[in-house]
Chains A and B, each alone.
Chain A
Amino acid sequence: MSTYVERFPAEAKVIRSAFYVSFVSLAIGALMGLLQTLHRTGMFEVFSEPGTYYTVLTTHGVFLVIAFTIWFLVGVFVWAVTTSLDRGVESLRFTWSWYGLMSLGTALAGIAILAGFVDDWPIVGDVSADVLFTFYAPLQAHPMFYLGLAIFIVGTWVAGVDWFRSWWVWKQENPDERIPLPTFMVLTTMLMWYIATLGVAVAVLAFLLPWSLGLLETVNPLLTRTLFWFFGHPVVYFWLMPAYMMWYLLLPKISGGRLFSDPLARVVFILFLILSVPTGIHHQYLDPGISEGFKFIAMTNTMFLLLPSLLTAFTVVASMEHGARQRGGEGHFGWLKALPWGNPAFTGMALAGLMFAAGGFSGMINAGMNINYLVHNSFWVPGHFHLTVGTAVALTFMASTYWFLPQLTGRKLFSRPLALVQVVLWFVGMTFMSNAMHRAGLLGIPRRTAEPWYDGFEFEAGVGSVGELNAQIALGGTLLTLSVAIFLVVVIGTALNGKSSEIETSVIPEPLSGPEDSPLVLDNLKLWTVIAVVLVVLAYTLPLASIIDRGGLLGPGGRAFPMSLDSLVVLAQLATEGALPR
């Protein structure tokens, strides 16, 4: 009957606060995206020092895929747990404490990165973290970067505890009830996240942070890289599962129907829980020091991970069709016309789903072990993931914001037509940018490269020309940035809008096939967690043991390559000279 903010005003404030951090990160990230497209296509010489490009790219990667996505999804998870259990958080102080930890982590890592735009700071000297979001050693960032990252992740762990706690208390009061689907989705996602983040936590806390502080002289670059990808693949599902959640919960509702099947939604989330982690080595198909057998196992697991996505495609389309038919849609394809295309939340999510299908195809190429030689680290790869995280996730989050904001503020959406233009513009811009990136990658043009033009050779385009591809990338990037600008206008406009009483109810309708059709075992989170852990142990024990056996825990030698650590040197000098204020 009522909006979310009326039912849970304090929680609505938490969610709004998380969303706002997310949107600021999006704004910063998108601006960097624009600079990248203009510079690396040669359209416009943005940086007189091409090295600055990598500070920009680190900002783009970290602010978008760590801050924008995760800040948004913790907000969504608070909403999902509180609405579906129909109870507020157990302790608001506890909730704000993880919010605080995540903020502190974001600030530390963010400052370390952004400080790289200035060469020399008073007192602390050179602070920067131009290591990109993968921070592969021996490239070394300022310790503040690693520290921020660690604190941020601990913050998400505490947030997970908050949601488990809500569920636990609810379960004592409702011992015979099934876990409501939205809460089930949150819990399975968080279980996956706990397992996945172990990799990066060990990499950062045991190796990279002490190393950046000078406590360790060397690290094993292959080991820290493998631990990164232990986390780096499943983090993709940490972004994607909330987007799927929106497709399962909001999309059917907005289409005017009901979710097709509750049991299958549960199966999908369980598959993600157990299959997301033992696949990370597919990012290391071309790494020396890992045997072909381990790569093959990761490839097989990866392919089975297609299953939950393919099942989702079915359920989502079936639920939309059901909704359209409720609205009077008819015919084989005629029902498509009956969908609420005028609703930006619907249209955005539907377009996001469509692009995800395209991203799925290029993903199958990436995952195809020996086919990967052709595309690895080429421009094809960002072409691929701007369809997945950059659209399936990002556009779904933006589109669902149009549904969430009125719920969270009690204010009407600022401008529906503008919001509609925004989601369509994203689709058009991404079509240009992503398609051209894929094609450029097939010519051998590398990713993560400020000026991909060389003295000794040129890239040969079979169809069209490199210039034409560059023009499309720059055009696409410009449209995308414009789209983000419009998104921010709508968000700010809504926040400033007057209160309205005509906002639809936030209650999610019951699925067509409800939880009573789900076997009880699906809710046995312990069982699925154990299976997930066993699979991870099977997939990772031998590769990690072999890497450590070959190169040692701290690697076979080598040095650190600080992307600048002058500040520590300066501090050390000040300390030894006694000039440091006490």
Chain B
Amino acid sequence: MNVHQYERYWLIAALVLIVAIIATVTYGAVGIGIAMIDDSEETVDPDALGEHERFSETGTHQVGENEYEVNVIAWQFSYEPGGSPDPPIEVPAGSEVTFYVTSEDVIHSFSVVGTNVNTMVIPGEVATMTVEFDEATEYGLLCNEYCGELHHDMEGEIIVHPEEEFDLFEIPAVDAPEQVDAGEEAEITVTLANERHQERSTTLAFEFDGDEQREDVTVDGESTEEVTFTVDTTDLEDDDYSWSVTVEDGMERTVDESGQLTVGEPEED
């Protein structure tokens, strides 16, 4: 075969270019350590995420000193958590966060604006990616994979809090009577769980019939504290009253519980 001399040079230059690009990408993978989205997680049943070990507990969880996991379900047309009506995704600065994202309906994306955090979200599959958040800031989150007629409305938010302000409280249980006789005291005991691995303090606000009681609490890492609020019903008429207890930790995510207390004889109907 008769190959012109210049063409031979060109061919060599082309091959050099190709090898150079492959080397660059390989360096990105091996040298810098940019991992690709992969098949490390088992498949899930998109119709039964409520029973799934991980996805029945969406949101942020601390798993190590500075390590967190965030479980997210994408759906037509928002993120849980991340987008409305759910609260934003919240993580602390200076942390290493692994996102686990799946979809309960069609294919979406989970793309953090202005960063290279970007993955497809495929029903049945779980996308994982580990991200380091250095500074307290906010990021926009959007879906860049067409997912139906309101695709353009699919957005969310990630809030990176200063490390010292970041809390992960839960109220796993409230022990409250349903009924008390008029004039008796009712005791409502709130179990407050601190799911961070560090000791944290917060304020519990208890509201009953328009009156508020506040209580500062400090909870060890990964433990619980019980706080009891006492309601005096002496001046109350027989009726149904509602109460609520809220963790005032400065997070966007609301942690609260509420219930009803009947004073006097329960009404029969």
Interface residues of A in 122-138 (CB under 8 A from B): 130, 132, 136, 138
Instruction: Given A299-B22, A517-B1, check contact A291 B106 (CB 8 Å).
Output: no
Are B120 and A518 within 8 A (Cβ)? no
Are B107 and A370 within 8 A (Cβ)? no
Task: Report B132 CB to chain A, min CB distance, Å.
Answer: 15
7 nearest A-B pairs in the assembled complex, by CB-CB distance:
A457-B140, A51-B149, A446-B144, A288-B127, A557-B45, A373-B116, A377-B144
Are A260 and B124 within 8 A (Cβ)? no
Are B122 and A287 within 8 A (Cβ)? yes
Instruction: Given A138-B106, A513-B2, check contact A369 B36 (CB 8 Å).
Output: yes
Task: Report A560 CB to chain B, min CB distance, Å.
Answer: 9
Partner of B152, one of A311, A373, A451, A456: A451
Contacts A291-B38, A518-B1, A559-B47 known; 16 new A-B pairs at CB < 8 A: A54-B146, A225-B122, A260-B4, A288-B119, A289-B122, A295-B38, A318-B7, A371-B25, A371-B28, A373-B34, A444-B114, A446-B144, A448-B151, A517-B1, A556-B46, A557-B48
Collect the chain A residues with CB atoms within 8 Å of residue B119's CB: 286, 288
Are A561 and B122 within 8 A (Cβ)? no
Instruction: Given A444-B113, A455-B155, check contact A370 B149 (CB 8 Å).
Output: no
Instruction: Given A221-B122, A222-B124, check contact A311 B142 (CB 8 Å).
Output: no
Are B140 and A517 within 8 A (Cβ)? no
Are B151 and A370 within 8 A (Cβ)? no
- Complex Cα gap A364–B125 (Å): 28
Are A459 and B125 within 8 A (Cβ)? no
Are B128 and A288 within 8 A (Cβ)? yes
B260 interfacial contact with A, CB 8 Å: no
Determine, out of A181-189, A245-253, A302-310, the stretch whose residues face the partner at the interface: A302-310
Are A369 and B29 within 8 A (Cβ)? yes
The secondary-structure label for the interface of chain A is loop
Are B120 and A558 within 8 A (Cβ)? no
Interface size on B, residues (CB 8 A): 71
Collect the chain B residues with CB atoms within 8 Å of residue A300's CB: 22
Partner of B18, one of A295, A306, A452: A306
Are A220 and B118 within 8 A (Cβ)? no
Partner of B155, one of A299, A454, A518: A454
- Complex Cα gap A1–B72 (Å): 70
A203 interfacial contact with B, CB 8 Å: no
- Complex Cα gap A457–B45 (Å): 33
Partner of A310, one of B10, B34, B138, B148: B10
Interface residues of A in 424-480 (CB under 8 A from B): 443-444, 446-452, 454-460
Partner of A303, one of B22, B34, B37: B22
Collect the chain A residues with CB atoms within 8 Å of residue B155's CB: 454-457
Partner of A561, one of B3, B21, B106, B156: B106
B173 interfacial contact with A, CB 8 Å: no
B120-140 toward A: CB 8 Å interface, digit per residue (1/0)?
111111111000000000111
Task: Report B56 CB to chain A, min CB distance, Å.
Answer: 16
Are B36 and A295 within 8 A (Cβ)? yes
A374 interfacial contact with B, CB 8 Å: yes
Q: B27's closest neighbor in chain A, by CB?
A: A370
Collect the chain A residues with CB atoms within 8 Å of residue B140's CB: 444, 454, 456-458
B217 interfacial contact with A, CB 8 Å: no
B1-30 toward A: CB 8 Å interface, digit per residue (1/0)?
111101100110011011001101100110
Interface residues of A in 49-70 (CB under 8 A from B): 50-51, 53-54, 57
Which of A378, A443, A551: most chain B Cβ within 10 A?
Answer: A551
> What would be 11 A-B contacts, judged by CB atoms less than 8 Å apart?
A53-B152, A225-B122, A286-B109, A288-B121, A295-B36, A303-B21, A371-B28, A377-B111, A377-B145, A551-B124, A561-B148
Partner of B46, one of A456, A550, A557: A557
Are A139 and B25 within 8 A (Cβ)? no
Collect the chain B residues with CB atoms within 8 Å of residue A557's CB: 45-48, 124
- Complex Cα gap A300–B19 (Å): 9
Q: A444's closest neighbor in chain B, by CB?
A: B113
Collect the chain B residues with CB atoms within 8 Å of residue A454's CB: 140, 142, 155
Are A221 and B123 within 8 A (Cβ)? yes
A340 interfacial contact with B, CB 8 Å: no
Instruction: Given A54-B149, A457-B140, check contact A290 B39 (CB 8 Å).
Output: yes
Chain A positions within 8 Å of B, measured between CB atoms, are 50-51, 53-54, 57, 130, 132, 136, 138-139, 220-222, 225, 260-261, 263-264, 284-292, 295-296, 299-300, 303-304, 306-307, 310-311, 314-315, 318, 364, 367-371, 373-374, 376-378, 443-444, 446-452, 454-460, 513, 517-519, 546, 550-551, 555-559, 561, 563
Collect the chain B residues with CB atoms within 8 Å of residue A260's CB: 4, 7
Q: B114's closest neighbor in chain A, by CB?
A: A444
Instruction: Given A50-B152, A370-B28, A559-B47, check contact A311 B106 (CB 8 Å).
Output: no
Q: B117's closest neighbor in chain A, by CB?
A: A373
B171 interfacial contact with A, CB 8 Å: no
B191 interfacial contact with A, CB 8 Å: no
Q: B33's closest neighbor in chain A, by CB?
A: A370
Are B35 and A292 within 8 A (Cβ)? yes
Collect the chain B residues with CB atoms within 8 Å of residue A450's CB: 151-152
Are A364 and B21 within 8 A (Cβ)? yes
Task: Report A25 CB to chain B, min CB distance, Å.
Answer: 22
- Complex Cα gap A150–B7 (Å): 42
Are A314 and B122 within 8 A (Cβ)? no
Partner of B47, one of A295, A455, A518, A558: A558
Are A222 and B125 within 8 A (Cβ)? yes
Are A457 and B113 within 8 A (Cβ)? yes
Are A456 and B156 within 8 A (Cβ)? yes
- Complex Cα gap A311–B9 (Å): 11
Q: B116's closest neighbor in chain A, by CB?
A: A373
- Complex Cα gap A452–B128 (Å): 26
Collect the chain A residues with CB atoms within 8 Å of residue B46's CB: 556-559
Collect the chain A residues with CB atoms within 8 Å of residue B174's CB: none
- Complex Cα gap A288–B43 (Å): 10
Are B152 and A368 within 8 A (Cβ)? no
Collect the chain B residues with CB atoms within 8 Å of residue A289's CB: 39, 43, 122, 124-125
